[in-house]
Amino acid sequence: MTVGKNAMLHAAAISMLILTGACASKPFLVVQYQLPRSPDTLAGKEVSLAIRDLRDNQTVLSQSAKKSFREFDGTYSLVVLKTDGSGNLLGVYGINALLAEIFKQRLDNHGLTVSEPTAQTEYKLEVKLKKFKLDLAGRKWITSVSYQAILLQNGRPLAMETVNGSAERLKIMGIGDAEKLLSELLSDTVNKLDLVKLFKKM
């Protein structure tokens, strides 16, 4: 009974967070990351994970988008959605920590053991962020994400993949539309990385 009640309260908290975000200015953006369905397992492998921010312009919001997010302080509230429809509200993160947690969730989902960037592991997955932007052009939200994933063995590159993505959505319900657009694109671009192919090099 207690577990069920806690799950219901957690779901209610997530729903309230999302609904509040749709119409109110707040210091963070709500990001919902959708885990992919039953991937091929990579259980038994250990890898350290590192995020490197290599963006030329580290400002996420364009000048026009900033007018809708006046209180935004550069943080993101992360909700991880499972394939059964349930979700976990994990916390509030800066951009690097946000991506680290999202990629960790993706790697965990494949059965990989994920270690800290400083861990002395034989294999390391390095994600280089190249672009992360949210713009408002007229009545249309536009977002773009680009990164390069490199698998290293003892510091030497084994495999590499670059992922680019962009999407747009009409502004109908305020900032909630922007958060949904960003969430969908982040989910798509992170899940597009072919981990099975990448880790075959191990």
Query: What are 120-147's pLDDT values in tens digits?
Result: 899 999 999 999 999 999 999 999 999 9
Q: What does pTM read for this prediction? A: 0.86
**Mean pLDDT across 22-31:** 79
Question: Is 168 inside a domain boundary?
Answer: yes
CATH of the domain at 43: 3.40.50.10610
Q: According to the model, what pLDDT value does residue 202 have? A: 65
Give the alpha-carbon dihedral of 28, 145, 33, 79, to 10 degrees.
-10
Question: Is 127 inside a domain boundary?
Answer: yes
Could you list the residue range(s) of the whole structural domain that residue 187 is in? 38-74+95-199
Query: Does residue 84 surpass a pLDDT of 60?
Result: yes
CA distance 17 to 75: 14
Share of the chain above pLDDT 70, in %: 87
The mean predicted confidence, pLDDT, of the chain is 88
Query: Does residue 6 surpass a pLDDT of 50?
Result: no
Q: Total domain count for the chain?
A: 1
Question: Number of C-alpha atoms within 13 angstroms, CB side, residue 76?
Answer: 24
Question: Is 192 inside a domain boundary?
Answer: yes
Question: Is 189 inside a domain boundary?
Answer: yes
Question: Is 89 inside a domain boundary?
Answer: no
Question: Is 20 inside a domain boundary?
Answer: no
CA distance 21 to 179: 8
Question: Is 5 inside a domain boundary?
Answer: no
Question: Is 159 inside a domain boundary?
Answer: yes
Tokens read off for 184: 């969908």
